[in-house]
Structure 1
Amino acid sequence: MTTRRQLLSAAATLPILAMPAPGHSQAVAPPVAPPVASPAAPLVVRQDFSFTDYSTRGGARVPVVRIGYQTAGRLNAAGDNAVLITHFFSGNGHAFGRLRPEGPVGWWDSIIGPGKPIDTDRFYVVASDTLVNLNAPDQHTVTTGPASVNPSTGRPWGMNFPVVSIRDFVEVQKRLLESLGVRRLALVAGPSMGALQAVEWAAAYPSMVERVMPAIGTGEVDAWMMGWLDLWCAPIRLDSNWRNGDYYGQGREAPLRGLAEALRIVTLHSRDRGWAAQFGRRPAEGQEPARRIQDRFAVEQWLDSAAAARARLSDANSFLYLARANQLFLNEYESPAAALSGAPRRWLVLPSQGDRVFPVEYSRELEAVLRQAGKQVELQALSGGLGHLEGVGNIAQAEAAIRRFLAP
């Protein structure tokens, strides 16, 4: 049984679309335990990749781009045994292994490693940070975005940073892969926003991708989901400390209250009733909400504490840019059908039955589009009480399907 101490300790690893704290990349959410690895879990080294003069899909120029990444396994001589793992809204590239001997394992470590479904004895696995990464303040995350210094001014970009899309994430990843000698991807896979990147890869560079595995994702961010993304962002914009994104200057306070409220909303949205059942209707310790309006219930107090802790490790402007990137998913195509008509043939789609962010019908619609285009698709729904987060914390339940999908 999950104890109150475990609930409170999870504040630093609060998922938002499956969100870990920086440097603690597993999605820890009561009552699910952190990903388990053996004492000999491989150590991975975080590396930096940079290049100059990037033109965004919107036509703006970024003088210097830097992202962090990690790899496991060996690239073969043909350069075609590579696997790209793409991360969720608030994650980073620490998808597998440990960064230090006693540190936590990556958020998909249960399925990536020697002998695991995504076998690093067979595949060369690459996982990178995205542009505008939420974890910009974290030493384990390397990203270019609104919190980065604009070399033209010597000051943080703030809201002058160009708008970027999921396609921009793909373009930067492609440059990284090319620098590593990768010619073809045996698989592109990721959960949530990572699923969006996997689908965008399939649309943009189908000849470079053999298989696609989107988990807890969708083939379309429609008006309903766009509305939700805007609601997530609203508390940040209402915080007086946000100052239209100009809060990086000396003596100015970051909009932590608005960011924490945004994280609190998304945290509940990304879970399901099964997760919340542990709190019941009980009051927070020492509180009497039936007598005092300011007193809190246990679930409210946990969400407040966890979101406040996570906000201190995040960047509010980056949250806004990430939300816009999600809204721009596949925006260069008339429809999902148009985007995926020439996509790779083989797909494994992994929705979660209790998902409130990308409900299972999103994946079934994606499956229908792919089948209409003549693709080979297997859909396996994940189950459990975590809702959207099943695709991170409990991805191992799809182990058999992933092994079949990747069988030689």
Structure 2
Amino acid sequence: MRHFCIWLGKFVLLALCLIQLCWAQDTLLVNKQQFTLDDFVTFGGKTIKQVKVGWESYGKLNEDKSNVILITHFFSGNSHAAGKYSQDDAKPGYWDSIIGPDKAIDTNHYFVISVDSLVNLGVHDPHVITTGPASINPETGKPYGLTFPVVTIRDFVNVQKAVLESLGISKLHAVMGASMGSMQALEWATAYPDWVARMISVIGVGQADAWTTLTLEQWAMPIRLDKHWNHGDYYQRQIPVDGLTASLMMITQQAMHPDYINAANPQHWPLEAAPLNDINQSHQVVNWLKNAAQARANIMDANHLLYLVRANQLFIAGHHDKLEEAMKRVKAKSLLLPSHNDLLLMPYMAKQVHQALLAAGKSSQYAEINGPMGHLNGVVGIAQHSSTIAAFLAAKDSL
């Protein structure tokens, strides 16, 4: 019996090693690449010189360049949608569960590409390449600060279009994005309808309504109130880290659902000793959220957050007509996947787009993502709709 146990132990160990080896071989390894535009004219008519953005891709571009799927990222995200930069990375890109060989977005068939946005929040992340207020203005040799032009979701799309055109791409098999990425996906379908055969909007919205605009303004307020913000001119001074941390705390909480936060903090008790005995002390759950926000603040920039807020506040699909009129220009088949318990971009916002598309005689599907995390279901729970996404991508072109 002893010899059998030793043999079994060795067998299990060998099996685990083989499994780990297979996982390592299946890991999608990616590289960040850089794209530069000498001059970029914004939707508002301002010129930005030497625009630089990062991009990464998965899979291979086919001969006629017809297998392209563009992934547009969310507010605090970047172009790292799948895979790892090295085998040692702690975790892969945010949608690795659906992007890769034999997954819903199958990189055996599709060339998947994603681009860092202008004014990307993670400007100090070594894997992010972006141009924004923290960048050096080539005309002054100093950071732009608030002299950087206001940018819009259309500008994010136009930079992506320039990247694609540099690769000889002139049509998208599909465009798909979550949250702020959903805005970009829908903007693609309305601004450049002849490019887009399929559009997938995850935890999405067609316009920033009054409620959403006020919510976004709350994200900006702590930064503007930080004593070190100095009207955006802080790059050679003390940075407004307290304001940025407070903003990130608010964003993170609103992107979650009470069920998740309560479950993640089972030790919470209203009458905790520290806050009971000292007004300067906080509850455990407050420290939990603050510590997470502080860790993220290290790679982010306060002014970039303000510019992202404004881009989202200015959003309406098409950047011109009413939403209903903009949907008439869409030629793509559309799939809308809101989160059932989203408290940030609530399901009614996706339903508004879906109904406007149907009213315009367009092809639109609607299904909800379930899970405990609210808005973040669209990131961590997307795999539950793998079959829906795969079937949608495989459907015949509408163009």
TM-score w.r.t. the length of structure 1 is 0.88
Does residue 328 of structure 1 match 2:314?
A: yes
Give the aligned length. 370
2:384 aligns to what? Answer: 397
1:45 aligns with one of 24, 31, 34: 31
Matches within 5 A, 1:206-245: 206-245=193-232
The secondary structure found in structure 2 opposite 1:54 is strand
Alpha carbon RMSD of aligned pairs, Å? 1.6
CA contact (8 A) 2:193 2:332 kept: no
Contact 1:203 1:340 in 2 (8 A): yes
The separation in 2 between residues aligned to 1:117 and 1:268, in whole angstroms, is 29
- The CA distance in 2 between the partners of 1:369 and 1:84, in whole Å, is 24
Shift of 1:229: 0.7
- Aligned equivalents of 2:60, 2:200: Cα separation in 1: 21
Question: C-alpha displacement at 1:99, in angstroms?
Answer: 0.7
Map 1:6-405 → 2, pairs under 5 A: 38-39=23-24, 40-103=26-89, 104-249=91-236, 252-278=237-263, 279-280=265-266, 282-283=268-269, 287-330=273-316, 332-405=319-392
Measured against aligned partners, the alpha-carbon deviations of 1:37-85 in whole angstroms (never above 9, x if no partner) come to 9332110011000011111110111011110000111222222210000
Deviation at 1:291, TM superposition (A): 3.9
AA matched with 1:85 = I
Cα distance in structure 1, aligned partners of 2:287 and 2:150: 35
The offset of 1:305, in angstroms, is: 1.1
Q: Secondary structure at the match of 1:92?
A: coil
Q: CA–CA distance in 1 between the matches of 2:30 and 2:109?
A: 17
Whether the 8 Å contact between 1:274 and 1:384 is mirrored in structure 2 is no
Matched letter for residue 121 of structure 1: N
The farther-off stretch of 57-66 and 306-315 is 306-315
The answer as to whether partners of 1:236 and 1:316 remain within 8 angstroms in 2 is yes
Looking at structure 1, the residues matched to 123 and 365 of structure 2 have their Cα atoms a distance apart, in angstroms, of 36
What amino acid maps onto 2:38 in structure 1? Answer: T
- TM superposition shift of 1:280: 4.1
- Displacement of 1:295 in angstroms is 3.1
TM-score, scaled relative to structure 2: 0.90
Aligned amino acid, residue 256 of structure 1? V
Q: Distance in 2 between matches of 1:207 and 1:374?
A: 17
Tell me which amino acid in the other structure corresponds to 1:41. T
Task: List alignment gaps of at least 5 residues for structure 1.
Answer: 1-36
Distance 1:296 1:38 in 2: 42
Tell me what 1:22 maps to.
none
Amino acid at match of 1:130: S
Report the 3-state secondary structure (helix = DSSP H, G, I; strand = E; otherwise coil) of the residue aligned with 1:64: strand
What is the distance in 1 between the residues matched to 2:75 and 2:238?
A: 24
For 2:93 and 2:268, the matched residues in 1 are separated by 34
CA distance in 1, matches of 2:224, 2:132: 18
Offset at 1:332?
2.4
Contact 2:145–2:303 (CA<8 Å) still a contact in 1? yes
The alpha-carbon deviation at position 289 of structure 1 amounts to: 2.9
Q: Which has the higher contact order (CA 8 A, sep 6+)?
A: 1
Aligned partners of 1:282 and 1:51: how far apart in 2? Answer: 51
Q: Give the number of the structure whose residues are more often helix, by fraction.
A: 2
- Partner of 2:94, secondary structure, is coil
Contact 2:225–2:243, Cα closer than 8 Å, also in 1 = yes
| Residue 7 (structure 1) aligns with | none
Q: Which moved more, 1:146-155 or 1:368-377?
A: 368-377
CA contact (8 A) 1:198 1:212 kept: yes
For residues 158 and 27 of structure 2, the distance between their equivalents in structure 1, rounded to whole angstroms, comes to: 31
Residue 79 of structure 1 aligns to a residue in which SS? coil
Quickly say closer, same or farther: Cα 1:350–1:246, change in 2 above 3 A.
same
Q: Kindly tell me: are residues 374 and 248 of structure 1, through their superposed partners in 2, closer, same or farther at Cα, counting changes over 3 Å?
A: same
Tell me, yes or no, if the aligned pair for 2:29 and 2:85 is still in contact at 8 Å: yes
Aligned partners of 1:260 and 1:308 also within 8 Å: yes
Residues 275, 283 of structure 2: 8 Å contact kept: yes
Paired with 1:239 and 1:154, the residues of 2 have a C-alpha distance of 26
Counterpart CA distance in 1 for 2:332 and 2:102 is: 26
Distance 1:283 1:246 in 2: 41
SS of the equivalent of 2:173 reads strand
